[in-house]
Amino acid sequence: MSKLGNLGARLHRGEVSYDFIGKRKIWYGVSILITITAILGLAVRGLNMGIDFQGGAVFTTPTKMSASVAQVEEYAHDASGHEAVVQKLGNGSLRIQIAGLDTGKSDEVKQTLAKDLKLNPEKLNADLVGPSWGEQIANKAWQGLAIFMVLVVIYLAIAFEWRMAIAALVALIHDITITVGIYALVGFEVTPGTVIGLLTILGYSLYDTVVVFDSLKEQTKDITKQTRFTYSDIANHSINSTLVRSINTTVVALLPVAGLLFIGGGFLGAGTLNDISLSLFVGLAAGAYSSIFIATPLVADLKEREPAMKALKKRVLAKRAQAAAGEAQEESRSATGEPSDGAAPAVVGPRDQSAPRNRGRGRPSGKRR
């Protein structure tokens, strides 16, 4: 802990910081690259839509089947007249997917399969879906996504401001694009479970973003009353000071999902658990990335276009130039060191002590000079 704790403390004081905002162009570039790759992947390879989207049946046998996969594939083909995909699951049971089977015919196939496999038909699980089911879920998902986006933008615009709402929305779209892109590129199967996972990312991806925004809002409350930091400086400091928090929340969120993905999924092979957790895992990681590298820099970008912020930037730059001219490098060093002791918001006006303290601390160093 002490190491991480120290890092936290140093991040908090601003002794260590990564210039997220300054290097934002790089991260924008990275994200655009990822997005383009994702879109290309989607366009070229398309999504591997699961059986729920084309209609068909999934049969699952009990554990300890003696029949081999190839054998079962043949059985299934004979029974249905359609191509079948057979997978062996972690616990030794078989998952038999037959596409293009309508619900009417599936029962017949089930009986035949059960006979071929020398099973009691009761023991053979069947999951039959009409082609409209997946479509239905997907449509509902899009609908839900749209409604959620509208609501969340309104909410964030009220709770914070519209720039943050837009930045959060961009980050959200970015996360979804990445997740979908990874599905297209890797060829993971898209099932209703995937869709559920994707929709859950909605709330989750925004969690970290909201935490950073909250800190940003707080620290920039009295931004115009000072001339030491530009909006971007403070935004950068907010990201850095909440970095430990963001990392911790992301790790803690990812751990159970990872458990679900690797243990739950590994134990059973493909299944609902796996589908949900896989898309959650990808989406959560993307969400953490986007809240740090995309959402906040974007807010800074939007904010700096505001006349007030432009003017502030001018003043800050002018003051810095002056300071640099007057007191050489030492002063600038203390300026970067400063956000630390004023605590998070070195900026905040009402606290009076910070000014005298700064002067006090500034002076000895000046005297030393």
Partner 1 sequence: MAAPKKGRGASAQSKPGRSLVLILIAIVAMTGGMFLAGHTTPRLGIDLAGGTSITLKAKADQGSAINKANMDTAVDIMNRRVNGLGVSEAEVQTQGDDHIIVNIPKGTNSKEAQQQVGTTAKLYFRPVLASEPSGGAAPKPSPSTSSGASGSPSPAASPSGDQKATSPSNAPSPNASATSQGRAVSDALKADATPSPTGSPSAKSSGAPASPSPTPGANADAAKLQAQYQALDCTKPAERAKVGKAGKPGEPTVACGEVNKVWYKYVLGPAAVDGTEVKKAQAIFDTQGASGWQVQMTFTSSGAKKFADITGELAKNQQPQNEFGIVLDGDVVSSPYVQQAITGGQAEISGRFTQEEAQSLSNMLSYGALPLSFQEETVTTVTAALGGEQLKAGLLAGAIGLVLVVIYLVAYYRGLSLVAMASLLVSAILTYVIMSLLGPAIGFALNLPAVCGAIVAIGITADSFIVYFERIRDEIREGRTLRPAVERAWPRARRTILVSDFVSFLAAAVLFIVTVGKVQGFAFTLGLTTVLDVVVVFLFTKPLMTLLARRRFFADGHKWSGLDPRSLGAKPPLRRTRRPSGPTTGPVDPKGA
Touching partner 1, residues 290-319 (CB under 8 A)? none
Q: Is beta strand 84-88 parallel, antiparallel or unpaired with respect to 94-99?
A: antiparallel
Residue 197 CB, nearest distance to partner 1 (Å)? 9
Integer Rg of the chain from CA: 28
Give the single-character DSSP code of 82.
S
Cβ closest to partner 1, residue 39 vs residue 247: 247
The reply on whether position 188 binds partner 1 by CB under 8 A is no
Interface residue with partner 1 among 42, 69, 141, 173 (CB under 8 A) is 141
Tokens of 126: 């069947």
The reply on whether position 343 binds partner 1 by CB under 8 A is yes
Annotate each residue in 76-115 with x if it binds partner 1 (CB under 8 A) or - if it does not, as one string: ---------------x-x---------x--xx--------
Taking CB under 8 A as the binding criterion, the range among 26-34, 64-72, 149-157, 292-300 that sits at the site for partner 1 is 149-157
Q: How many helices (H) and strands (E) does the chain have?
A: 15, 6
Interface residue with partner 1 among 27, 67, 105, 130 (CB under 8 A) is 130
The reply on whether position 72 binds partner 1 by CB under 8 A is no
User: Which residues in 257-276 contact partner 1 (CB under 8 A)?
Assistant: 257-260, 263-264, 267-268, 271-273, 276
The answer to whether the CB of 49 falls within 8 A of the CB of 78 is: no
Residue 168 CB, nearest distance to partner 1 (Å)? 9
The reply on whether position 186 binds partner 1 by CB under 8 A is no
Cβ closest to partner 1, residue 44 vs residue 252: 252
The answer to whether the CB of 59 falls within 8 A of the CB of 110 is: yes
Q: Which residues contact 365 (CB under 8 A, 6 or more apart)?
A: 330, 334
Interface residue with partner 1 among 29, 225, 341, 355 (CB under 8 A) is 341
Phi-psi domain of 118 (left: phi exceeds 0; alpha: psi -120 through 50; beta: other):
left
The reply on whether position 195 binds partner 1 by CB under 8 A is yes
Residue 105 CB, nearest distance to partner 1 (Å)? 12
Tokens of 136: 């239905």
Nearest CA-CA partner of 159 in 213, 200, 118? 213
The answer to whether the CB of 62 falls within 8 A of the CB of 93 is: yes
Residue 300 CB, nearest distance to partner 1 (Å)? 20
Q: Which residues contact 277 (CB under 8 A, 6 or more apart)?
A: 197, 257, 258, 260, 261, 264, 265
Taking CB under 8 A as the binding criterion, the range among 35-43, 242-250, 292-300, 323-331 that sits at the site for partner 1 is 242-250
